[in-house]
């Protein structure tokens, strides 16, 4: 009969990152091993002996997928790698990898997970016809009326002697922050969650951004625990990007002679914001 012993001192390791306080860091990753001996080779030929090694891991000892360690409740078992010990046919080493993923059964049953948050900030180049106060950048030019002048508009004589004003477009760098949320959700259809969120903007103030300034740009998911059809668990990654000017595009009237928008365009007439991206209350899934 197979026997298993957890924690072989030969291969114990962990990754500690700064931030724990009291001169300690946060344990982000831990590796341990289990030794499974006396496997039945006759009953489990070929690679199936590796599965048999996993099946013989002692229950209730934190070695099942999704189990957490009593000493480190934030660490969750995410990977088990069985290997046959060289020179043997009945003994396997099982490497156990734990990573920090905050979730609890209670919140998962409610359909809401607890999330690990990552993010960053950068500058992104924008082209705009407005200044920092939201006013048009007014630029004007009076065309010479004398055809002998070198600046005379030979391509369009209608401009001769006329003053044309338009909105001068400028390129500026604006903040473009990003946020990534990683966590588990229970759902029979992860694709429906991804479709419901990608391309949505925040309906209300969220993470310091006014409505419409945060957009969900990507949602990815991987299977976590598909054993129970009613409580299938998926590991989700939600990606968000911030634009202080908002994500809905503007449709702008442009002068046919100059190809540029004239100044003093009236909002809602000369400039129309196209309500392109649907909104969603982001706090439904990501409360502050």
**The pLDDT value given to residue 110:** 40
Least confident of 46-60, 158-172, 231-245: 158-172
Residue 285 is given by DSSP the state T
**The pLDDT value given to residue 104:** 41
**How far is C-alpha 261 from the geometric centre of its chain's CA atoms?**
37
Q: Give the CB-side neighbour count of residue 242, counting CA atoms within 13 A.
A: 19
Question: Is the pLDDT higher at 139 or at 24?
Answer: 139
**The pLDDT value given to residue 23:** 64
Domain residue extents for the chain: 3-100, 108-126+172-284
Average pLDDT value for the chain: 82
pLDDT, tens digit, 9 for 90 and up, residues 57-91 = 988 778 887 787 878 777 888 899 999 999 888 99
pLDDT, tens digit, 9 for 90 and up, residues 252-276 = 787 776 777 777 777 778 777 767 7
List CB contacts of 246: < 8 A, sequence separation 6 or more.
201, 210, 212, 213, 273
pLDDT, tens digit, 9 for 90 and up, residues 175-189 = 789 999 988 888 888
């Amino acid at each position: 009969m197979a026997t298993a012993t957890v924690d072989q001192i030969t291969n114990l390791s962990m990754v500690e990152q700064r931030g724990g306080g009291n001169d300690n860091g946060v344990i982000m990753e831990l590796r341990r091993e289990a030794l499974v001996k006396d496997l039945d080779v006759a009953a489990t030929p070929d690679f199936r002996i590796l599965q048999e090694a996993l099946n013989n891991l002692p229950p209730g000892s934190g070695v099942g997928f999704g189990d957490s360690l009593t000493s480190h409740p934030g660490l969750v078992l995410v990977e088990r790698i069985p290997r046959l010990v060289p020179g043997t046919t009945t003994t396997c080493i099982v490497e156990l990898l734990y990573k920090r993923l905050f979730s609890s059964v209670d919140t998962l049953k409610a359909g809401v997970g607890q999330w690990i948050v990552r993010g960053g900030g950068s500058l992104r180049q924008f082209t705009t016809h407005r200044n920092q106060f939201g006013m048009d950048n007014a630029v004007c030019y009076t065309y010479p009326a004398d055809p002998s002048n070198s600046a005379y508009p030979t391509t369009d004589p209608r401009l001769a002697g006329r003053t044309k004003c338009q909105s001068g477009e400028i390129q500026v760098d604006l903040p473009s922050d990003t946020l990534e949320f990683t966590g588990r959700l229970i759902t029979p259809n992860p694709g429906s969650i991804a479709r419901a969120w990608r391309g949505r903007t925040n309906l209300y103030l969220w993470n310091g951004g006014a409505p419409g300034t945060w957009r969900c740009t990507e949602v990815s998911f991987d299977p976590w625990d598909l054993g129970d059809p009613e409580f299938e668990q998926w590991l989700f990654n939600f990606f968000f990007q911030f634009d202080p000017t908002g994500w809905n595009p503007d449709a702008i009237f442009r002068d046919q002679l100059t190809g540029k928008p004239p100044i003093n365009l009236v909002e809602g007439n000369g400039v129309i914001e196209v309500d392109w991206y649907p909104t969603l209350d982001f706090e439904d899934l990501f409360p502050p």
